[in-house]
Chains A and B, each alone.
Chain A
Amino acid sequence: MMDQNLMEVLLVEDNLSDVELTLRALKKNNLANNVFVVHDGAEALDYINQTGKYKDKPNKRPKVILLDLKLPKLSGVEVLRALKAGETTKTIPVVVLTSSKEEPDIKECYKLGVNSYIVKPLDFETFVRVVSDLGLYWLLINKVPADNQ
Chain B
Amino acid sequence: MNVPLWEIIGGYVLACIGLLILLFISLLWSWSLERRVKTKTREIQKMNESMFLYGELLKFSGDGIYRYTYDEGKILLANDGLVKILDFKGTSEELEGKYLKDVLIYTEEPGSVRRAANAQGEIHNYEYHFKTLKGEDRWVIHNSLITRDERTGKKCIDAVVKDITERKNSEKRLLDSEKTYREIFNANNDMFLIQDINDGRIIDFSKSTEELTGASREELIERGVSGFTPNDGIHTMDKIVEHLQRAKQGNVEAFEWAFVDKAGIVHPTETTLKLATINGVPRLLATVRDISERKKNEAEIEKYKNHLQELVVERTNQLEMANKELEAFAYSVSHDLQVPLRAINGFVQILSEEEVERLDDEGKRLLKIIKDNASKMGELINDLLTLSRSTRVAMKTAVTDLTGMFNEIVADLKDQLAERKVKFNLGEIPPVSVDPTLFKQAMTNLLINALKFTRTKPEAIIEFGSNRQKGETVFYIKDNGVGFDMRYKDKLFGVFQRLHSAEEFEGTGVGLAIVKRIVQRHGGSVWAEGKVGEGATFYFTLPNKGGEGA
Contacts and interface: CB of A to CB of B under 8 A. Distances in A.
Contacts of A120: 338, 342
Contacts of A103: 393
Interface in A8-38: 15, 17-18, 21, 24
A101 interface: yes
A18 B334 contact: no
A101 B334 contact: yes
A123 interface: yes
A41 to B, nearest CB: 15
B375 A17 contact: no
B240 interface: no
B345 A15 contact: no
Given A17-B347, A24-B350, A122-B378, A102 B334 contact: yes
Contacts of A101: 334, 385
Given A100-B331, A122-B345, A124-B346, A17 B340 contact: yes
B344 to A, nearest CB: 9
A72 to B, nearest CB: 13
A27 to B, nearest CB: 11
B339 A122 contact: no
B370 to A, nearest CB: 12
Q: Among the interface residues B330, B331, B378, which one has the most CB atoms of the partner chain A within 10 A?
A: B331
A123 B349 CA distance: 9
A129 B511 CA distance: 29
Contacts of B330: 102
Contact of A70 (B335, B343, B349, B382): B335
Interface string A106-131: 00000000000000101111010000
A18 B341 CA distance: 10
B346 A21 contact: yes
Chain A: interface size category: 20 to 34
Contacts of A98: 335
Contacts of A125: 349
Contacts, number: 59
Contact of A122 (B331, B336, B341, B393): B341
A122 B335 contact: no
A13 to B, nearest CB: 10
A109 B339 CA distance: 20
A87 B393 CA distance: 36
Nearest to A125: B349
B334 A127 contact: no
Contacts of B348: 124
Contacts of A24: 346, 350
A24 B346 CA distance: 10
A99 interface: yes
A69 interface: yes
Contact of B342 (A69, A105, A127): A127
Nearest to A69: B335
A105 to B, nearest CB: 8
A141 to B, nearest CB: 25
Contacts of A105: 331
B135 to A, nearest CB: 104
Contact of B335 (A17, A99, A123): A99
Contacts of B347: 17, 21
A21 B343 contact: yes
B90 to A, nearest CB: 121
A69 B334 CA distance: 12
A84 B500 CA distance: 52
A21 B342 contact: yes
B349 A122 contact: no
Nearest to B388: A102
A17 B350 CA distance: 12
A34 B350 CA distance: 22
A124 B335 contact: no
A17 B340 CA distance: 8
A70 B331 CA distance: 10
Interface in B330-369: 330-331, 334-336, 338-343, 345-350
Contacts of A100: 331, 334-335
Contacts of B345: 122-124, 127
Interface in A63-103: 69-70, 98-103
List of 10 A-B pairs having minimum Cβ-Cβ separation, nearest first: A17-B343, A124-B349, A99-B338, A124-B346, A21-B346, A99-B335, A122-B378, A124-B345, A70-B335, A100-B335
6 contacts: A99-B335, A99-B336, A100-B331, A122-B342, A122-B375, A124-B349
Given A17-B339, A122-B345, A123-B375, 14 more contacts: A15-B339, A17-B342, A17-B346, A18-B342, A18-B343, A21-B343, A70-B335, A99-B342, A100-B331, A122-B338, A122-B342, A124-B346, A124-B348, A127-B345
